Structure 1
Amino acid sequence: MGSSRSMLFFINLAIIILNLVAPSISQDDGICTLTADYCWKCSDTGTYTAGDKYEENLNSLLSSFSSNTQNNSGFYNSSRGQDSNKINAIALCRGDLSQDSCQACLNISTEILLQNCSTQKEAIIWAERCMVRYSYNLIFGIEQTDPLKHLPSPNSAKNPQQFELVLTPLLGILSDRAASGNSLKKFAAGHATVPGGETIYALAQCTPDMDKQNCSRCLNKSVTEIPTCCGGMNGGRVLKPSCNLRYENNSFFVSTADSLVDIPTPVPPAPAPEEAKKKSNTKQTVIIIVVVLVVSVTIFSSICFFFRARKRRVKLEQDENSEDVSLMESLQYDFETIRSATDDFSDANKLGQGGFGAVYKGTLLNGQPIAVKRLSKNSEQGDREFKNEVMLLAQLQHRNLVRLLGFCLKTDERLLIYEYVPNKSLDHFIFDPNNHEHLDWETRYKIIGGIARGILYLHEDSRVRIIHRDLKASNILLDEDMNPKIADFGLAKLFVIDQTQGDTKTVRGTYGYMAPEYVIHGRFSVKTDVFSFGVLVLEIVSGKKIGSFQYGENEENLLTYAWRNWREDTIQNIIDPVLTTSSQIETMRCIHIGLLCVQENVVDRPTVASVVSMLNSQSVVLPVPSQPAFYMHHNTGSDIFALAESDQSKSLSVHVTENEPSNITEPYPR
């Protein structure tokens, strides 16, 4: 009788254990994918009418987050309106970010959220560096775990079993540290080493309006979801409105936030001490049965867990491959369709000719206008690599980037299909004496801000960092509302498999816009684009080209001209004379920012995130600029190349485009 009860007890125990180790896997109903830069969820619980009071309150509330320079904690919560028009919102930046990076992330995230969830009364967006949510319901201090996003890495850990033995306690310790934070920050980051050398970097974070108990519960529940969503993988994220977890085998946060977490190596349990006195035969039988049953349950549970995790990983891999194939098919255009759309690439439809190939206007059968770039035939990539790069670029979507619609491959033909932007390029306006008067200061200031936000997206907010390396006025297209769109981003990668930071043997760019370290040594970084942006700002404010022009008896370029007038306190000479009614404070501030960006010392140049903050807030104090690059070598292009040739090996190839007047008619150049 006693043996039967013992058997029944352990059978029930086995059922309980199986339920614990093999939970049901919930479906992720969001639009997140592993390659998405942003994940958002638009709630269907209610809508508002465009232009009503709710929308006004929402826009006002969200814009206040990205412009608040007084808050250094990275956490914002506030409300606007009354009764049915009341809106509550929370914004949270990763706890290791600087104020500039935080505000830049919030600025872009709110913009994307409003674009994709327009008229929705409740929505949330997760970026890599921040989160924004709003609702007509009360959300402050309330633990909310829905909507939920699981983002597992596609790659397996080197030793999954050892990895998990270190990961679980690491996340537990960081969760406790985060929950113990204050009302301004509940964040913890750290790393631990897996036996065998692999390192796990992780963070845990709650919205600081949560109390310790709710934060701890939210994070601990997220830790228990890791084996189901990301078991055996070397990285993963669990995203919820009130908390989030992240871990990877590479460092992804600022080193100052890091701390070593000591995870003791698990020790196998010691064997039970030998019985001092033998029990009766009945008791021995019970013990044997119990031991066998427990071992059997454990083995069975482990097998179930293994196959469930494996099935989940296989399903994720299949889903991901299916998504990639589906995306690739949607991006690939038929060659005959494009040839017909461009009238067999006729000269009448040719929009321009640049370093990467000619550009043609086309019209699809459904009436949609497109721009087709017919790439020159000197690419070093195979078809597969080309398709992968195009698929990556097609997923980079931002209002200030020209959208890549797809591609076409046929024997030796490689075509890129873009959205058609009707107003041609920026240089068509600022350098054309008949058009530049139509660009008032408000429009120019909007263009400067839009370019900065587009570069920031490429540098910091896209999943793969893209350095443009050929930013110039002719690569900035203008839509029907004169909003700027950056063209030709990422094209260098379609011609040479290259890094996004480091050294290169092939320098591609346009004289005057290229940073000195890039021209002379072939070294490029995000500060290379910052230099080009500074030149653009000075051109937009002055209406003058970067190249040489006559000033009195002296021949100068725009950088030396701007620097001389800055030093002589005659800054008004730099401003385009047609801007008679412009805001002098804003124009002088933009000249100041432009000079900061073109400084010769790379370290002194600001990041794009800092530039966006400088443009968004007049309260940000600007440092004093130092001498711009090439101040001592400014007369002609030959000086720059003489300097380059004397300072580097002959293996460096420099492909430079001169800024000729004909470029102003090219809407899709280079």
Structure 2
Amino acid sequence: MNLFLGLLLFLNLGFVIASIDMVSSISAPESSPMAAAPIALVPSSMADFTSGPNVGNHRMKANRKLLIGLVTSLLVIMIIIMSIIVLMKCHRRKLQKLKNPGGKRSDSLRGLALSSFVGKSNGSLKTVNEKASVAVMDYHLLESATGNFGEGEVLGEGGFGCVYRARIDENLCVAVKRLDGGSQDAIKEFQTEIDLLSKIQHPNIITLLGYCVHDDTRLLVYELMHNGSLETQLHGPSNGSNLTWHCRMKIALDTARGLEYLHENCKPSVIHRDLKSSNILLDSSFNAKLSDFGLAVMDGAQNKSNVKLSGTLGYVAPEYLLDGKLTDKSDVYAFGVVLLELLLGRRPVEKLAASQCQSIVTWAMPQLTDRSKLPNIVDPVIRYTMDLKHLYQVAAVAVLCVQPEPSYRPLITDVLHSLIPLVPVELGGTLKVTQTRSSVTVDP
């Protein structure tokens, strides 16, 4: 094909050169032998007329028009040829996509860091939209990276499936959430998660790196949070022993910052609708990030009457549970429950008997406002390790957040500003702490 085009261009150039030579010979100067030879059959009066300057000008104009016409025709031919080349290339790319919609084999992605192919545009990877950095990932790559979704790689389990640790290469591990089944609720949550997290970037909100759809299996790929969930840290084998008072306050502050971003900075605003300790993930430095946005609602204040009742028992606000009224104050209530978990080390709902349960709010509320009883119900791991004034302040914030009447609850921004002075500077707050051998003192 390239040889044919080159030959065609060569022939056209040769044609133009030959034409220019022909024009040059036609417009040869009168001093040449041909121009100087007399024509006997032409009368002298006619010869005098044709040998004047008008004949030379006429010939020059005719030659110039011919040359311009030839050059113009050459340019048109070249433009047509280039257009044909472009169209053929586009057609070839379309044929390649139709023959191989999945792109390169998963083997070609093995050993590559995720950061090396996020954002690229090839057969195996596409971006959701222009602003997104969420990648469509190869199923076989993720299957191999999780050890064929082996039990030894399970990090946790949710309502629609498990979360697995996946090693993409030697330097990169990620978390893969597997959603099995094709129920309408599962599909909707999967799509909501992608739509929201592809547009959200915040230090206290989990990063979605990619996703995959393979038959009835849907996979979501996140950054790996090495310390798991807050629920595991509080109620798992360690029973909160890794979480000091200041660490717990930092987790509360990070959670409040993530919620404030959703409520105040997102346009339209976002209501998480499923905030709980299992959806607050902790990285290697115990920085907290909100996760699991499958139930999130955008602009919930306008759509609250059309939202299906969903959530987790113990965290659901009373007005939403009883009347279906959903606002940003519903998230504030759930945050208050999480704050009580951090403070007391108890689960949001505990069984009293086979058929009876008691919420942490019902159990703690009478004691939270009694300063003489409050220190005795604090999680034993952190009991007497904090300034009592700070303890009373956190308890007061929690009490306000779990008020039955939504209008009595503070905005998450107000909660955020209440917590900042309780968190050390090195952990993201404004508190200056001086460490001594015997105790912890707080500088005024």
Q: What range is the shorter-chain TM-score in? A: 0.5 to 0.7
Distance 1:524 1:383, change over 3 A: closer
Distance 1:518 1:368, change over 3 A: same
Q: Secondary structure at the match of 1:372?
A: strand
Q: CA contact under 8 A between 1:504 and 1:523: conserved in structure 2?
A: no
* Aligned equivalent of 1:571: 374
Unaligned ranges ≥5, structure 1: 1-321, 619-670
Unaligned ranges ≥5, structure 2: 1-125, 423-444
Instruction: Tell me which amino acid in the other structure corresponds to 1:500.
Output: G
Q: For this pair of structures, how many residues does the alignment match?
A: 291
Distance 1:382 1:521, change over 3 A: closer
* Aligned equivalent of 2:350: 548
Distance 1:574 1:424, change over 3 A: same
Worse-superposed segment, 540-549 or 374-383: 374-383
Q: Secondary structure at the match of 2:176?
A: strand
* Aligned equivalent of 2:243: 439
The structural deviation recorded for 1:323 is 8.3
The structural deviation recorded for 1:482 is 0.9
* Aligned equivalent of 1:345: 149
The structural deviation recorded for 1:349 is 1.5
Q: Secondary structure at the match of 2:205?
A: coil
* Aligned equivalent of 2:258: 454
Q: Deviations over 1:269-319 (max 9, x none)?
A: xxxxxxxxxxxxxxxxxxxxxxxxxxxxxxxxxxxxxxxxxxxxxxxxxxx
Q: Which is greater in Rg?
A: 2
Q: 2:333 aligns with which of 524, 528, 531?
A: 531
Once the two structures are superposed, the pairs formed by residues 88-487 of structure 1 within 5 Å of their partners are 325=129, 331-365=135-169, 367-380=171-184, 390-432=194-236, 434-487=238-291
Instruction: Tell me which amino acid in the other structure corresponds to 1:337.
Output: L
The structural deviation recorded for 1:364 is 0.8
Sequence identity, in percent? Answer: 36
* Aligned equivalent of 2:111: none
The structural deviation recorded for 1:377 is 2.8
Q: CA contact under 8 A between 2:275 and 2:335: conserved in structure 1?
A: yes
The structural deviation recorded for 1:560 is 2.4
The structural deviation recorded for 1:324 is 5.9
Tell me, in whole angstroms, the C-alpha distance in 1 between the residues paired with 2:370 and 2:312: 29
Distance 1:525 1:383, change over 3 A: closer
* Aligned equivalent of 2:300: 500
Instruction: Tell me which amino acid in the other structure corresponds to 2:391.
Output: T
The one of the two structures with greater contact order (alpha-carbon pairs below 8 A, sep at least 6) is 1
Q: Deviations over 1:80-105 (max 9, x none)?
A: xxxxxxxxxxxxxxxxxxxxxxxxxx
Q: TM-score, normalised by structure 1?
A: 0.40
Q: Deviations over 1:41-69 (max 9, x none)?
A: xxxxxxxxxxxxxxxxxxxxxxxxxxxxx
Q: Deviations over 1:210-254 (max 9, x none)?
A: xxxxxxxxxxxxxxxxxxxxxxxxxxxxxxxxxxxxxxxxxxxxx
Tell me, in whole angstroms, the C-alpha distance in 2 between the residues paired with 1:518 and 1:332: 36
Distance 1:428 1:383, change over 3 A: closer
Tell me, in whole angstroms, the C-alpha distance in 2 between the residues paired with 1:357 and 1:555: 26
Q: TM-score, normalised by structure 2?
A: 0.59
Instruction: Tell me which amino acid in the other structure corresponds to 1:402.
Output: I
Instruction: Tell me which amino acid in the other structure corresponds to 1:455.
Output: L
Q: 2:419 aligns with which of 590, 612, 615?
A: 615
Instruction: Tell me which amino acid in the other structure corresponds to 1:582.
Output: M
Q: Deviations over 1:175-199 (max 9, x none)?
A: xxxxxxxxxxxxxxxxxxxxxxxxx
Distance 1:600 1:480, change over 3 A: same
Tell me, in whole angstroms, the C-alpha distance in 2 between the residues paired with 1:459 and 1:477: 19
Q: 1:517 aligns with which of 308, 319, 322?
A: 319
Q: CA contact under 8 A between 1:565 and 1:573: conserved in structure 2?
A: no
* Aligned equivalent of 1:558: 360
Distance 1:350 1:536, change over 3 A: same
Q: CA RMSD in A?
A: 3.1
Instruction: Tell me which amino acid in the other structure corresponds to 2:283.
Output: D
The structural deviation recorded for 1:362 is 0.6
Distance 1:344 1:608, change over 3 A: same
Q: CA contact under 8 A between 2:178 and 2:218: conserved in structure 1?
A: yes
Tell me, in whole angstroms, the C-alpha distance in 2 between the residues paired with 1:548 and 1:329: 41
Q: CA contact under 8 A between 1:470 and 1:510: conserved in structure 2?
A: yes
Distance 1:504 1:376, change over 3 A: farther
The structural deviation recorded for 1:392 is 3.7
Structure with bigger helix share is 2
Instruction: Tell me which amino acid in the other structure corresponds to 2:270.
Output: I
Tell me, in whole angstroms, the C-alpha distance in 1 between the residues paired with 2:201 and 2:175: 17
Q: CA contact under 8 A between 2:268 and 2:298: conserved in structure 1?
A: no
